[in-house]
Amino acid sequence: MNHLLSIADLSREEVLRLFRLTAALKARQKAGDRGAPLAGRSLALIFEKPSLRTRVTFEVGMVQLGGAAVYLSAQEIGLGVRESIPDVARNLGRWVDIVAARTFRHATVETLAAHAAIPVINGLSDVEHPCQALADFFTLWERGMDPGRIRLAWIGDGNNVCHSLLLLAALLGTPLAVATPPGYAPDPGIQARARALGGRVMLTTDPREAAEGADVLYTDVWISVGQEGEREQRLEAFQRYQLNDRLLGFARPGALVMHCLPAHRGEEVTDSVLDGPQSVVLDQSENRLHAQKAVLLHLLGGGDV
């Protein structure tokens, strides 16, 4: 594992090792341990899209590990416009130890990784969101849930988060039911890759069919950054896919509710579900910090703690 561009860059053993490292780092942070395994190391954050969770968790995580982070907005470096992506990568490789990039095109993070002599982390692209998926499955794992014995249902758009969850569910042996409107299913190539990894994937256009008997219901926004021009079309297509109390009622009693945030309340999810007792969205959000610290430490050779 030299970069983390896709969940497919990981093996099952590496995922479980990252979970154990995440748990150790979280416990140390809660105990007030201020160890600095990455003292003197630096992280560059390249962001073409706005962010709350990804920026804060990477910056704070690097600081908690004893290192430093520098934020670079799209306006500051103009990837591919002011300067070519390979040139940006080569220069950063001379100054910093690792890069996390939040981009529109997945090809951008791939190009950065191809030309940087340092590790590159996909902080989100149009194809995948691997750090989110790691934090999500860690959230279930730390609750003692065996990934091979639970059933996960995705309700909504077959987007980048769904793609990473499909691949990670396949690695961990978790059956995943995906309910999307016609035309919004996950990328066929990602589906094929998940099945090649042993994934048990069920696709449907019926949200009730996906939700029935599920241990976890997961949703995300219907309109992501860059899709604003499709708003009315998407609102009409997804109106049956809202995660509300009625849909939650088809899942197993006590089923957990997940959302990667930010949420468009009243669209893909209702307040009563998002803020209800079965919601673990804030645990997911917190665990982004600890999971990404584990990834940083692993890629920079910090070893186990």
Per-residue model confidence as pLDDT tens digits over 80-126: 788 999 999 999 999 999 999 999 999 999 999 999 999 999 999 99
Candidates 106, 151, 193, 288; catalytic one: 288
Q: What is the DSSP letter of 243?
A: B
Selecting among 64, 97, 132, 162, the annotated active-site residue is 132
Catalytic residue among 220, 242, 290, 298: 220
Question: Does the active-site annotation cover 143?
Answer: no
pLDDT of amino acid 80? 76
CATH 3.40.50.1370 domain locations along the chain: 7-129+286-299, 132-284
User: pLDDT band at 212, cuts 50/70/90?
Assistant: very high
Known active-site residue 163: no
Angle in degrees, 0-180, between the axes of helices 85-95 and 106-115, rounded to the nearest 10: 50
**Residues sharing a CB contact under 8 Å with residue 286, sequence separation 6 or more, in sequence order:** none
Contact 136, 284 (CB under 8 A): yes
Strands (E) in the chain, as ranges, are: 42-47, 68-73, 98-102, 120-124, 152-155, 176-179, 201-204, 216-219, 256-259
The single residue of 41, 102, 115, 259 carrying the catalytic annotation is 102
- pLDDT score, position 266: 97
**Catalytic, out of 129, 163, 193, 259:** 129
Q: What's the confidence (pLDDT) of residue 77?
A: 85
Q: Is 227 a catalytic residue?
A: no
**102 given a catalytic annotation:** yes
Which pLDDT tens digit goes with each residue over 239-289? 999 999 999 999 999 999 999 999 999 999 999 999 999 999 999 999 999
| Better-scored residue on pLDDT, 33 or 23 | 23
pLDDT at 296: 98
Farthest-apart Cα atoms in the chain, separation: 55
pLDDT confidence of residue 224: 83
pLDDT, tens only, 167-202: 999 999 999 999 999 999 999 999 999 999 999 999
Q: What is the pTM of this model?
A: 0.96
Q: What is the pLDDT of residues 32-83, one digit of tens each?
A: 998 899 999 999 999 998 899 999 999 999 999 999 999 998 888 878 788 9
Topology at the third CATH level for domain 7-129+286-299: Rossmann fold (3.40.50)
Nearest to 217 by CA among 247, 184, 240: 247
Amino acid at 191: Q
Which architecture does CATH list for 132-284? Answer: 3-Layer(aba) Sandwich (3.40)
Query: Half-sphere exposure of residue 19, counting CA atoms within 13 Å on the CB side?
Result: 23
Catalytic entry in 157, 163, 260, 284: 260
What phi and psi values does residue 191 have, to the nearest 5 degrees?
-60, -45
Q: Does position 160 have pLDDT exceeding 80, yes or no?
A: yes
The answer, yes or no, to whether residue 1 has pLDDT greater than 80, is: no
